[in-house]
């Protein structure tokens, strides 16, 4: 696929997706959304790719959200089934996705990060859901994910004031996993991804799916039903399920096949 608004790099089993509209702080419009939806469709379907990282081009912005200038000029709004950047409504991907936030993450940009499983942020990263300041609301998942991730009162404090939050405060609030020096967000995310890849990808997918599905039901129901989740059943039927205990008993590093 000819990419115009993003770049894709693969390092072994790790896919790095770079939002690439630096002239507008990587703000996204309809064409970029549809392109990124295809990018993440390809990642999800590729058995050789185990973890994805999403970051922004340049050193100023991860993503400034919706391209308001495009909208104000009459540009059509909308996105594909995967949601904003192909991620915010992507509920069927059981592979880990990491946000490497290297600057501004505003509105939809913050919503992209919240849709990821981990957030690694550089010291100059800034987060906000400022939509009320321009007569909008964070309806690409921000209003639902932020309260679930940091608690109702803390989320209300951010959302109702539309205030900006630093990477350090984001870490204190609990939505940032690690703060790294400026310029090192991607390297930090790659370090996390490489650590994840030391584990069985079948186990990682089963774990993520069990968490996602389990949080939508009661604790009792989750524990009762988790062995029937597709990724958990796939793990139990996989070669990795045999390789892990065998490698442990033989005192060697496992050779994961991802199947």
**Catalytically active residues, by annotation:** 111, 131
Task: Pick the closest to residue 111 from 131, 132, 134 (CA basis).
Answer: 131
**Ramachandran assignment for 175, one of left (phi > 0), alpha (psi -120 to 50 degrees), beta (any other):** alpha
Contact predicate 200/240, CB 8 Å: yes
**What is the distance between the alpha carbons of residues 71 and 236, in angstroms, rounded to a whole number?**
48
Cα-only R_g, the chain:
19
Write down the residue that tokens 């939050």 correspond to: 165
Note whether 226 and 220 are within 8 A (CB). Answer: no
* Tokens representing residue 3 in the block: 């990419």
Tokens standing for residue 76: 């059509």
Q: What SS3 class is residue 117?
A: coil
Q: Assign residue 161 a region: left if phi > 0, alpha if psi is -120 to 50, beta otherwise?
A: alpha
> Cβ neighbours of residue 231 under 8 Å, at least 6 residues apart?
94, 202, 205, 206, 208, 209, 210
């Amino acid at each position: 696929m000819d990419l115009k608004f993003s770049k894709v790099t693969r390092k072994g089993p790790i896919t790095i997706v770079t939002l690439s509209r630096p002239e507008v702080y990587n703000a996204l419009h309809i064409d970029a959304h549809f392109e990124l939806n295809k990018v993440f469709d390809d990642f999800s379907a590729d058995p050789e790719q185990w973890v994805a990282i999403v970051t922004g081009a340049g050193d100023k912005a991860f993503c400034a959200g919706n391209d308001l200038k495009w909208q104000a000029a009459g540009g059509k709004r909308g996105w594909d089934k995967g949601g904003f950047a192909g991620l915010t409504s992507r509920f069927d991907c059981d592979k880990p996705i990491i946000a490497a936030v290297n600057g501004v993450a505003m509105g939809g940009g913050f919503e992209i990060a919240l849709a990821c499983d981990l957030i690694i942020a550089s010291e100059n990263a800034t987060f906000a859901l400022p939509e009320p300041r321009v007569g909008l609301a964070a309806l690409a998942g921000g209003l639902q994910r932020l309260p679930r991730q940091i608690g109702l009162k803390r989320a209300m404090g951010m959302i109702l004031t539309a205030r900006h939050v630093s990477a350090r405060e984001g870490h204190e609030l609990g939505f940032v996993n690690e703060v790294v020096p400026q310029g090192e967000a991607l390297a930090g995310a790659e370090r996390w991804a490489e650590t994840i890849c030391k584990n069985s990808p079948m186990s990682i997918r089963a774990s993520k799916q069990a968490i996602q599905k389990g949080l939508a039901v009661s604790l009792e129901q989750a524990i009762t039903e988790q062995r029937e989740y597709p990724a958990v059943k796939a793990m139990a039927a996989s070669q990795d399920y045999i390789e892990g205990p065998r490698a442990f008993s033989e005192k060697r590093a496992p050779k994961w096949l991802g199947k």
